[in-house]
Structures are given as structure tokens and as C-alpha cells.
Structure 1
């Protein structure tokens, strides 16, 4: 993402932050908040798949860890929003590091299956650790507090969510242009060639997993600023497939594609709430079509046109 595009995104978010709470209904602002959470979530998956080329199917699990950690940190420990968000991100990052240490001995389909197994195990934990997560009854999320003031509405949460999202976009764009970003892409293209030029392949993969999990956990913490309830059913494999579809549709390996795909497909997912029984079929069909006919994503197609 170029500095010009980043500046344009900043202008749009600042403009929305000033105008949206005053002009839009509460539902519209809620959707805007949710889209920004999807942006952070998709940027996290972009790091491990698009940048480092490591296939992970545990993203919804890290997202759930971030949500529950931030909610419980606020509810039990009384932590303010930023501290609770960092707690969720750090715990998710530690889990990502642990899974990376165990799973990165594997490659390709075996790596995907091992991360899928972790995601399913965490879904079981979310559903059955009732004293902590509320189990199948879900968990009420207390209002977050920012600068000593509680966030009591979607409109009050939007400037905070937009600000954190803008910071995350800037950090990921900076990482993409940095030496670490180039190391990620070298490992993605050829591990043998990357090792030959002095890149520590294992360390680079672990960093990708850890940073990806941190952003997923941070997205979970961001979710707690405007949502008052979380249920484990929303943290299953379908959420991982949704975020994967976002980065494929937007453009794998592109920061702009990850952001654009999250916004566009976040809106599509909201429309598909009317047909929940067909969501996975529709997501799978869209994934297959883009992998076959537009593997670089919709934003690459627009650029070529």
C-alpha cells in the first residue's frame, strides 16, 4: 500500500469518524464498526498467508481468544480498553507462537490440517468452558472504557475503532515495505533460496504466525468496544473461511486487497445473513471462481482494466 493510498484511507476514516455518528443510524454505524474489525482480521491473515505463504486455518480461534481475553480483562480486572485489547492480542500471539513451534515442522496440507485441528479444539473450549466463556449461553461483554470514559454506543465506539484500524493499516503497510516484509515474501517464494541468502526461515515463519495471531486477537479486542455479547457459534470454521475469502477476493499478497476485500465481502456477508443455510456454499463457490479465473483478486483485475 503506497503512502498516497494510506493517506486516502486516513482521510476517508477521519471523514467517516466526523460524519457517520451524526448522520447514520445505529445499525449503519454498527456495520461500519464490524467492517473495520474485519479489516484488522483480514490484515492478520494476510501476514501469514499473503506475505509468508503459510496456510493457517486457526484465525477464528485467535480472534475468539482476543474477544474473551479482552472481555474478561475488562469485566474481572477492570482494565481500560487499550490494555484489554493488548492483553487479547498478546495472549493470541503467544498461542500463535506455540502453534507455530509445533506446526511449522509440517508443510502444505499437513500444516493446514494441524491449524484446523487447533481451531476446532478452541471452538470446543469456547463451547464447554462454561465458567469462563459462558459456554453455549454466550458471554455478556461489559462496556469498554477509553480515557476513563465508558463507551456506551456504536457511535461512541466508531472513532476509537477507526483510529485503531488506521494504526494497524499503517503498521502492516510499513511492515510490507520493510526488510522483514521482504524476508516474508522470500520465504513464500522459495524457502531454499531464502535460506541461501541468509534468512532464518524457521524464525521468519514463527514471526509471521505470531504477528498474524496478535492482529487476530487485537481484532477480537476491538470487537468488544461496540458489541455487548459473544457466542461461540460465531467463532467457528465459517469465520475463518469468511476471512480467507476476503483476502482471496481482494488479492492475496496485497495490503490494499486485504483492506478492500474485507470491506466488500464484509458487506456481502451481512447480506447473506438472510440465507444462513447457503453461506458456506456461496463462500466456497466464490473462492473457487476467484482461484480459477482471478487468482490475483478483484483489485488486481481493476488495476489491469
Structure 2
């Protein structure tokens, strides 16, 4: 029944998204494009935080790296936009792997602080590397292209952004059900237990960081298909809080929660655009309320995957799957 309901919701959403370009204004399509980018961002953070349990706060930094990488490529060579977003994902993923290698021995608040420091350092780079990013004046990007077809409007970019978000959703579900996903969750529940099961914990963490960063870089590349300008101020602490609250309120460890959080808070952030000075206060109040009254979020991703207690009988196949993925 649950699977049928999920399929029904997916079909309904697909039908709405298919009809939307014919009935909606350009502004509505811009919002939907932005929500698709938020969904990809949230899915990436879901992998490292929800699936692997690594409290990393550098996601927006990789998003910014993706935006600037794709923008620079578009301005310099005007290639097919698929090239620019794939390069953005590869560059961000490589840096994510390096960050993961440096941070694998840190946990909890220490990991959060170190990755947050990386994010702040990258915003400093965006602001001060004027010869590349144009600094505080913001960076203007040429329109993305698809075999000579310029994506100069929201409606032109819309089908590509929606299809890319759908592909990343499919990939996320596939990873979650794979042996690598089993290794992610084993590390999330207990490093020691995962190690005892034969999981290469450090390798799994590095892979999680890399995949999460690649998602963020790809989301940045997608952003350049419908937006021609980026300012470093939009890649700061407030954006980090926004993405984090999407995951926490939606439900840590839940793909559906990541999507719901991205859509809900993507819309809220747009509604609060006229009161920027109050956004962080409002987000903080929402987060406190959820922590008090709904700590597992709108969807709980861990109910169906309870950790195996020490000495309890393990479901058949769990240990070999995790071991093979992490070895």
C-alpha cells in the first residue's frame, strides 16, 4: 500500500509538472526551477547527513563551487550545458572527497565546525577572488546552451531542470537500496559495529562526502541554466541554515522528507524574500518548534531501518552486503 501511494504521488507530481509550462507564468516556472535545484541540494545533504550520519555543513560551499565552475565554463567556451554541469559535479565531488579525507576522524560538533569553517572559507574566496568571481559585484553568466539551443528563459530551462532533478531522485533511491547504502547506514548507526561487520568506515565516509558534494555541484550547474547572475551573499550562512532545516524538518534519513522539506522551505524562503532581516529568526523558531514537538520531522527515515542491537539476530544478508560495499 505504501509503495502504491508513493507511485501515485509520483505520477500526480509528474502530471502536474508536465502540464505546468502550458498554464503557468514565467515567475512560477522560475520558482519551480529553483525548487528542483533545492531538491537536488537536499538529496545530496540527505546522503551525507541522513544516510551516513555525518553532520557536515559545507554543502552550500560545494553548491557555490558548482555555480561558479559552470558559469566560468559557459562564459569561456559556451559548450553544451550538460558538459558544464557534469564538470561542476566532478569538481565539487573531488573537493568533497578531499574534505572527507581530512574530516573522517572528526565527529559530531567537531565535524560540524570544521566543515562550517570550510564553507566560510569558500565564501571568502567567492568574495575576494575578484579576477575570477568578480567579488562583491556578483558574477554574470552567459546563457546555457543545448546543441545550439540557448536557454534564455525559465520555460526553456524548465524541462531540463525537471528531468535532471528526477534523475537525481532515482539515483538517490537506487543508492539507498544498494549495498553502498547499507554500508552508509551501518556507519550511521555505529562506526565500531560497522567496522566489526567488515565495513571500511573511512572509505565509506569519503565516498559519502564525495557523492554529497557532487550533488551540490550539479545543483549549482543546474542553477546556471535558468539564472544569469550569482552573488556571494546568497551562498553564506543563511543558505546553509536553509538547506539544513529542509533536512531536519522533512525528516533526517528520509528521501521523501528531503523532498518535502526542499519544497516547503523553498516556497517559504521565496515568500520571506521581502523580509530578509527576519528570515533567520523565523527559520530558528520553526526549527525549535519541530525539535520540541516533532523531533523526527515530517517523515522519519529510520523507522523502517531500526539499528540492530548488540547480540540480536541480524536479518539475513545485512552483514555481507555492508561488508562488500565497504571493503
Counting only pairs closer than 5 Å after superposition, residues 142-221 of structure 1 correspond to structure 2 as 142-221=142-221
Q: Which moved more, 1:18-27 or 1:55-64?
A: 18-27
Deviations 1:169-208 (A, max 9, x none): 0000111111111111111111100000000000010011
Mapped partners of 2:275, 2:75: distance in 1: 34
Match of 1:73 in 2: 73
Conserved? CA contact 1:13–1:162, under 8 Å? no
Tell me the TM-score normalised to structure 1 length.
0.94
Distance 1:9 1:169, change over 3 A: farther
Mapped partners of 1:17, 1:281: distance in 2: 32
Mapped partners of 1:130, 1:12: distance in 2: 46
Secondary structure, in 3 states, of the residue corresponding to 1:298? coil
Match of 1:271 in 2: 271
Secondary structure, in 3 states, of the residue corresponding to 1:79? coil
Conserved? CA contact 1:17–1:158, under 8 Å? no
> 5+ residue gaps in structure 1?
none
Q: Which moved more, 1:3-12 or 1:273-282?
A: 3-12
Counting only pairs closer than 5 Å after superposition, residues 1-305 of structure 1 correspond to structure 2 as 4=4, 7-8=7-8, 10-300=10-300
Q: Deviation at 1:147?
A: 3.3
Conserved? CA contact 1:35–1:263, under 8 Å? yes
Conserved? CA contact 2:69–2:84, under 8 Å? yes
Q: Deviation at 1:10?
A: 4.9
Deviations 1:206-235 (A, max 9, x none): 011000000000000000010011000000
Radius of gyration: which is bigger? 2
Distance 1:145 1:4, change over 3 A: farther
Mapped partners of 1:147, 1:13: distance in 2: 29
Q: Deviation at 1:298?
A: 1.5
Mapped partners of 2:231, 2:265: distance in 1: 22
Mapped partners of 1:148, 1:9: distance in 2: 35
Tell me the TM-score normalised to structure 2 length.
0.88
Conserved? CA contact 2:252–2:300, under 8 Å? no
Secondary structure, in 3 states, of the residue corresponding to 1:119? helix
Mapped partners of 1:154, 1:254: distance in 2: 30
